[in-house]
Amino acid sequence: MQATSSQHRQIGSLDVSLTGLGCNNLGWRIDEAQSRRVVEAALDAGINFFDTADIYDKGHSEEFLGRALGKRRREAVIATKFGMKFDDTHIGAKPEYVRQSAEDSLRRLGTDYIDLYQIHQPDPNTPIADTLGALEELKQAGKVREIGCSNFSAQQIREAGGKFVSLQNQYSLFHREPEAEVLPECRREHLSFLPYFPLANGLLTGKYRVGKALPTGSRGQAGWGPKVFTPENLQKVERLIAFAEKRGHTLLELAFSWLAAQDPVVSVIAGATTPEQVKANASAANWKLSGEDLAEIDRLAA
């Protein structure tokens, strides 16, 4: 039986799968042929939400995604981002740059509309009202369907005055910072929340275990997030694995399903480098956790 992402939730007017494909690996870690296989596997597994950014491998991620979707473009909800440093002259959120970035992304993606266009980070040099004005123009022109933001604080969300439909920040069982202010603000403003790094740099995949060497070529071995790969966190991982396995599930399913149970999370964005990873991710959020389960997971991860 094909593993599928059967549940859908809303980002504004957009209907998205509960599991999304993060496309930061496209170009950076996998070539175009492998990128195509990953994207096609996602569509076949019921994933329709694809999240990329202009800076991912200097535009190659957008290009690979666009070409991989090809005739299946209408099956996909494409989210991309602008605003982080592309090169010395391409950065920020000034209106003219917003318009230029959108045209560049549309060209690379090979499409005439972007479903969700997100400002990748706040621009301290540009009033948010100016940026929003340009984004609203793109919506009116039909080039963008919805607008969102990423790496914004609760205060910065408030300053946007309810114009965004979504916020994408880091959030996982091992990174709980959004729970203090950001998630409550999203609930007040009716913003859909999109967690990135849901697996804490791979710590929540189950491949990192107490007493075992870090896998060759893994993020852990490469020194990603050294604060994450601590003996204390590996002990927590062992406890969480035991909890999941006792109930017939994997740590991966626990990590995804725990996020899916948090209000207002709408889609869990995870990267993949193989079709097999995509298929595992597609069905990982289907475990319905009870209130007792959630309380116990909190205790084990505390």
pTM of the model: 0.95
User: Which of these ranges, 160-174, 207-221, 258-272, has the smallest mean pLDDT?
Assistant: 207-221
In a domain, 220, yes or no: no
What local confidence, expressed as pLDDT, does residue 211 receive? 86
Write out pLDDT tens, residues 134-189.
999 999 999 999 999 999 999 999 999 999 999 999 999 999 999 999 999 999 99
List CB contacts of 164: < 8 A, sequence separation 6 or more. 147, 148, 149, 157, 189, 191
The catalytically annotated residue of 56, 97, 196, 208 is 56
Q: What is the mean pLDDT of the chain?
A: 95
CATH number of the domain encompassing residue 46: 3.20.20.100
Using the predicted structure, report yes or no on whether residue 291 has a pLDDT greater than 90. yes
Q: Please state the three-class secondary structure of 171-226 as a single string.
A: CECCECHHHCCHHHHHHHHCCEEEEECCCHHHHHHCCCCCCCCCCCCCCCCCCCCC
In a domain, 301, yes or no: no
What local confidence, expressed as pLDDT, does residue 277 receive? 96
Domains: count for the chain: 1
In a domain, 235, yes or no: no
List CB contacts of 121: < 8 A, sequence separation 6 or more. 83, 84, 150, 151
Average pLDDT of the residues in 22-44: 98
List CB contacts of 176: < 8 A, sequence separation 6 or more. none
Helix, strand, or coil here: 144? strand
Domain that holds residue 24: 8-203+263-287
CA distance 178 to 193: 10
Q: How many CB atoms lie within 10 A of CB 111?
A: 19
Average pLDDT of the residues in 205-223: 75
List CB contacts of 178: < 8 A, sequence separation 6 or more. 169, 170, 171, 193, 195
**208 given a catalytic annotation:** no
In a domain, 73, yes or no: yes
What local confidence, expressed as pLDDT, does residue 213 receive? 78
Pairing of strands 8-11, 14-17: antiparallel
Write out pLDDT tens, residues 60-111.
999 999 999 999 999 999 999 999 999 988 999 999 999 999 999 999 999 9
In a domain, 255, yes or no: no
In a domain, 219, yes or no: no
Average pLDDT of the residues in 233-257: 97
In a domain, 179, yes or no: yes
In a domain, 108, yes or no: yes
